Amino acid sequence: MTKEYEDAYHRYEDSSLELPIEYDGYRIQYNAGAANDSINDAMAFSARHLK
């Protein structure tokens, strides 16, 4: 399943990028909500499928 996070840009899981950076036409910025949700989804997927 693919999930799209509004207001999540490239490297949204990198907490060292609190302030947005524009690079080569792309926005790079940390998004705590998206990062936490994606980690929880990955952990749940792993628990279900990797036994």
Check if the beta carbon of residue 20 is closer than 8 Å to that of residue 40.
no
Per-residue pLDDT at 2? 84
Per-residue pLDDT at 35? 96
DSSP alpha helix (H) spans, the chain = 32-49
Q: How many CA atoms lie within 13 A of 25 on its CB side?
A: 0
Per-residue pLDDT at 15? 95
Torsions phi, psi for 23 (to 5 deg): -140, 120
Q: Which pLDDT tens digit goes with each residue over 6-51?
A: 889 999 999 999 999 999 999 999 999 999 999 999 999 999 999 7
Q: How far apart are CA 16 and CA 37, in angstroms?
A: 18
The band of 1, judged by pLDDT with boundaries at 50, 70 and 90, is: confident
